[in-house]
Amino acid sequence: MGKRKRLRFPLFSKATRAFFRAGRRLPDYNFSDKVHGYFYGRWTYLYIGIGKGDHPWAKRLAPLFRLFSRPDESTGSSDPNPIHSVTIATGTLADGYHGKTLPLETARQLVLVNEPIHVPDLEQVIPYVRARSIILENPDHIVVLDCPCRKFKENPCLPMDVCLIVGEPFASFVSETHPDSARWITREEAIRILEEEDARGHVHHAFFKDAMLGRFYAICNCCACCCGAMGAHKNGTPMLASSGYIAVVDAENCIGCRTCEEYCQFGALSLDRNGVMVVNSELCMGCAVCESKCPEEGIYLIPAPEKGIPLEIDKLMQAALQASMD
């Protein structure tokens, strides 16, 4: 038999085929995941706009959107304090779609990774039942995408181009499918975007999704007024995991100026009757925005094992180096 002829005009683009090939290498990545991942990556604005309810077609297409949910998933939780766990599902979409809060320095380190990383299970660092891997291929391939959460928001925060798609096959896939709203950038440009968003008081999150090959694919720079994940988290769907740190107030240095409270995206800070800032430990996600904004060095982060384990890029790099030597 002769060799099978290739289609002269393939149905899918080169980047899309690369995404599908990566999915085929995963033992538990099924046809539904493939369709879900393609829909999410190809029509990101429609997907997130409908999920948030901002898109003009949200009500009309909501039933189609629900087709991509797993049978055990809902869009919310009846539990006012749903838990993060690697063994216990919350029964919400957060089980397979979630973000890890990152202080600025950790976000910087993540876009400066210069070696492939293969960590198939981050366990307690990403405390969810699914989608908790960091597998970085071509980590210097970075695309910035106009924020889907801000796209259909009335009077959104600006600028729009703040979502970083990191590594392959995601960067090429997003670049090809969103040519008018995505562009390739250097690591230096990515660092600048992170720093400028941090200066605006916005929070960095590393996002993971089961349909996106069950792993890390993006760093989003989020504000409570626009971000779908932050809104869902506030309303009981635990889409965000703590950085593993918590803010602590130095009562001697705090002058009660409320600058940190103004910038806190999680509503975790308030002034007590003595004029000293107080941290709500349940709401604080350890993003470090308050620390960077305090003019008196009156608030800082400390490790909080009860909140989670930090994402430590140096340790991931050491593991990748060790693996390459074995």
Instruction: Please tell me the number of Cα atoms within 13 Å of 81 on its side-chain side.
Output: 2
Global confidence as pTM: 0.89
Q: Is the pLDDT of residue 75 over 70?
A: no
What are the CB-based long-range contacts (under 8 Å, 24+) for 187-191? Answer: 187/111, 187/112, 187/140, 187/142, 189/142, 189/144, 190/111, 190/142, 190/144, 190/164, 191/108, 191/111, 191/112
Calpha distance 187→142 (Å, rounded): 7
Question: Which tens digits make up the pLDDT trace of 19-61?
Answer: 999 999 999 899 999 999 999 999 999 999 888 888 776 666 6
Whether domain 245-303 has CATH 3.30.70.20: yes
CATH 3.30.70.20 residue window(s) in the chain: 245-303
Instruction: Kindly write down the DSSP assignment for every residue of 161-214, as one continuous string.
Output: EEEEEEEETHHHHHHHH-TTTEEEE-HHHHHHHHHHHHHTT-EEEEEEETTTTT
Calpha distance 190→139 (Å, rounded): 12
Q: What is the mean pLDDT of the chain?
A: 88
> CA 319, 321, 325: angle at the middle one, nearest 5?
115
Question: Which tens digits make up the pLDDT trace of 177-191?
Answer: 999 999 999 999 999
> Collapsing DSSP states into helix, strand and coil, what is residue 1?
coil
Structure-block tokens of residue 320: 């990748």
Calpha distance 48→28 (Å, rounded): 24
Question: Which tens digits make up the pLDDT trace of 119-142?
Answer: 888 877 999 999 999 999 999 999
Calpha distance 68→77 (Å, rounded): 18
Q: How far is CA 32 from its chain centroid?
A: 22
Structure-block tokens of residue 263: 């910038």
